[in-house]
């Protein structure tokens, strides 16, 4: 039952060398609940998504698979860079 949010959560955990137990401890859930979240058997609630995004510094759109922009303001920075280049022409 793979969804974008749990596959990207797996990416974040691996990147941060965080085990399932580490995630359970940080997220204040049982190891069984952590397993269910990580493997897509329990959907995340809005406040949980926000908490994960804050902890790992990613956007909710990226976590949910809506966007490929992982970092907050990444698109805005690209926009301003491109706008500056265009204005200098």
Q: 72-83 pLDDT, tens per residue?
A: 766 666 666 767
- Asked if pLDDT for residue 2 goes beyond 70, the answer is no
| Strand blocks (E) in the chain | none
Which pTM does this prediction carry? Answer: 0.75
What are 46-71's pLDDT values in tens digits?
999 999 999 999 999 999 999 888 88
| Of the options 3.30.450.20, 3.90.1150.10, 1.10.260.40, 3.90.25.10, the CATH number for the domain spanning 4-87 | 1.10.260.40
Joined tokens for residue 58: 């990613």
Phi/psi class of residue 19: alpha, beta or left (left: φ > 0; alpha: ψ in -120 to 50)?
Answer: beta
Instruction: Please tell me the distance from the alpha carbon of residue 17 to that of residue 1, in angstroms, as a whole number.
Output: 23
Domain map (residue ranges) of the chain: 4-87
Q: What is the pLDDT of residues 4-40, one digit of tens each?
A: 778 999 999 999 999 999 999 999 999 999 999 999 9
């Amino acid at each position: 039952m793979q969804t974008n949010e749990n596959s990207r959560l797996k990416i974040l955990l691996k990147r941060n060398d965080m085990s399932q137990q580490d995630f359970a401890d940080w997220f204040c859930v049982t190891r069984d609940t952590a397993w269910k979240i990580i493997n897509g058997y329990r959907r995340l609630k809005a406040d949980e998504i926000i908490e994960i995004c804050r902890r790992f510094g990613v956007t909710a759109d990226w976590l949910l698979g809506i966007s490929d922009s992982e970092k907050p303001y990444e698109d805005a920075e690209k926009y301003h860079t491109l706008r500056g280049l265009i204005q200098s022409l």
